Structure 1
Amino acid sequence: MKVEDITATVNPLFLKKIFVYGVLIIAILVSAFMVVMQVFTYRHDFRELSSHLREKEDLNAEWGRLVIEQQTFGATAQIGSRAVTQLRMYSPPAAQTVVISLPSETEQKK
């Protein structure tokens, strides 16, 4: 009878230990899996961020080129308007226009 009492008291304690160890092992495995998923997500997001930063730098460079081009075209119009207002320049009418042509090579040889 004593043998049965010992086995009866050992079995519930043994089962509790196995259950606790099983829960701990499952918790460790879930925790490890979550760490792996977090690292994967971080790397994926970092790669995406890097590509967006490269695209931002490319767009900023293109924006700079477009601003310079706009200033160049704006300067041409500004020069024309200043010539008219400050220097009182104008395009002459057709009656005041004189066309000068160079003599052709055959006329020069004569």
Structure 2
Amino acid sequence: MNTEVVEEKSTKDRTVVRKALTYFVLIALIFISAIMVVFEVYEYRYDYRQMSSLLRNEDDLNAEWGRLLIEQQTFGATAQIGTRAVTQLRMYSPPPSDTVVISLPSTAQQK
């Protein structure tokens, strides 16, 4: 009879230890998963901030590209205007003998 009581007690002790160990493992897994969630949220926010910064940089570069295209078209138009003035309107620069330079008197000479 004593052996049966001892066996029952040891079996009870084993189940209690197994339950405690199972609870401990489950609680440890819950804490680990909570820490991983926090880490993933941090990574997501960091990546989102970086993506937002890169998108702002892309917008700035697109605006600068547009300004450069306008500037390029302006310089190209200047050459076209000169070419059309010579070919279609027969305009030319006068020779130096036909050029007259007019100098305005300075204020010091007037006094």
TM-score (norm 1): 0.82
Aligned partner of 1:94 in structure 2 is: 96
Give a deviation string over 1:80-102, Cα, whole Å, max 9, x none. Answer: 1111222222223334x231536
Aligned partner of 1:70 in structure 2 is: 72
Aligned partner of 1:85 in structure 2 is: 87
State which of 54, 57, 74 in structure 2 corresponds to 1:55. Answer: 57
Q: CA RMSD in A?
A: 2.1
Aligned partner of 2:12 in structure 1 is: 10
Deviates more, 1:13-22 or 1:1-10: 1-10
5+ residue gaps, structure 1: 106-110
Aligned partner of 1:37 in structure 2 is: 39
The sequence identity of aligned pairs, in percent, is 55
Secondary structure, aligned partner of 1:50: helix
- Aligned counterparts of 1:88 and 1:40: Cα–Cα separation in 2: 71
5+ residue gaps, structure 2: 107-111
- Aligned counterparts of 2:105 and 2:8: Cα–Cα separation in 1: 130
TM-score (norm 2): 0.81
Deviation at 1:58, TM superposition (A): 1.0
Secondary structure, aligned partner of 1:33: helix
- Aligned counterparts of 1:51 and 1:76: Cα–Cα separation in 2: 38
- Aligned counterparts of 1:103 and 1:20: Cα–Cα separation in 2: 103
Give a deviation string over 1:50-79, Cα, whole Å, max 9, x none. Answer: 111111111111111111111111111110
Deviation at 1:39, TM superposition (A): 0.2
Where do 4+ consecutive residues of structure 1 move more than 4 Å? 102-105
